[in-house]
Amino acid sequence: MILKTSLLLVSALALEVAAAEPPPALSPARTMTEAGMVDVRTLSPKLAEDMKYAGTDNFTGAVVEGYLAPKCFLRTRAAEALARVEATLHNQDLALRVWDCYRPARAVTAFVRWAGDLSDTSTKPTHYPNLGKDKLLGEYIAPVSGHSRGATVDLTLMHCAAGKCEPLAMGTDFDFFDPLAHTADPRITATQKANRERLLKAMAAEGFVNYPQEWWHFTLPAAAPPVIFDVPVE
């Protein structure tokens, strides 16, 4: 265990050294209120939530540390912007489904720990079929996540009709560790490309910026503080 922990620390430190900026400081906030975050459902009550890390349907195969409830919290400014996106889409018979929002720093540490356990490959067929698990640290799993700042959200777009909403075809599922998940990957179909662009346009209208390696990942830079948080989601 000591050796495994040491190897994880070495990997994390190596990634931090390679980063362009030093890692952000950890906020002393102990509550969501102190962190300046709100439950997005208080602003957008009908927002569809499928909070993956609060359950077992995620790349770790287990409930992730720090997720005590399936809720979407964001910094207030980001939550307000997301609510406006949802309201605009509602008028177009579209809707959002969110998979992750604010992510406690301890959850990111749990991801790194999981990635370092090369003996556990139970989720490989679903989440990284074309990669060895030893390739996930770095490009796909980093020791610090922008989600921990409270201004990043993972989501998809749905079409709604007759009171029922169905996800649009995007080319991959959430947390699919493969270049096919890159927003502009040329292998996706014309329909999938159009749907990704539709999501991009809707989010960009409120200032959200897409992470090009993950079509589902958006950040509102204006709402992101210079620190990360470790308040549990509850």
- Predicted pLDDT at 21: 62
What pLDDT score does 4 carry? 37
Farthest-apart Cα atoms in the chain, separation: 56
Give the pairing type, strands 73-75 and 94-100.
unpaired
pLDDT at 6 (0 to 100): 36
pLDDT of residue 14: 38
Query: Which structural domains are found in the chain, ordered by start?
Result: 2-13+31-228 (3.30.1380.10)
Q: pLDDT for 46-105, tens place per residue?
A: 999 999 999 999 999 999 999 999 999 999 999 999 999 999 999 999 999 999 999 999
| Residue whose tokens read 């400081």 | 25
Q: Which residue has the tokens 């890390």?
A: 53
Q: Would you write out the chain's pLDDT as a tens digit for each of its 234 residues?
A: 333 333 333 333 333 333 446 789 999 999 999 999 999 999 999 999 999 999 999 999 999 999 999 999 999 999 999 999 999 999 999 999 999 999 999 999 999 999 999 999 999 999 999 999 999 998 899 999 999 999 999 999 999 999 899 999 999 999 999 999 999 999 999 999 999 999 999 999 999 999 999 999 999 999 999 999 999 999
> 65, 38, 48: which is closest to 164 by C-alpha?
48
> Which pLDDT does position 16 carry in this prediction?
38
Rounded Cα distance, 103 and 153, in Å: 9
Strands 164-167 and 37-39: unpaired
Please list the active-site residues. Answer: 214
The confidence score (pLDDT) of residue 22 equals 79
Determine the pLDDT at residue 17.
37
Polymer length in residues for the chain: 234
| Helical packing angle, 190-204 and 76-90, nearest 10° | 130
Angle 227-231-234 from CA coordinates, rounded to 5°: 145
Given the structure tokens 């409120």, which residue do they identify?
A: 206
pLDDT score, position 3? 33
As a dihedral over the C-alpha atoms of residue 119, residue 56, residue 148, residue 32, rounded to 10 degrees, the angle is -140
Rounded to 5 degrees, what angle do the CA atoms 117, 123, 127 make?
110
pTM for the structure as a whole? 0.90
State how far the alpha carbon of 177 is from the alpha carbons of 126, 136, 137, 171, 225, in Å. Answer: 9, 8, 11, 13, 27
Q: Is the dihedral of CA 205, 211, 216, 222 positive or negative?
A: negative
Centroid of chain to Cα 221: 15
Mean pLDDT of the chain: 92
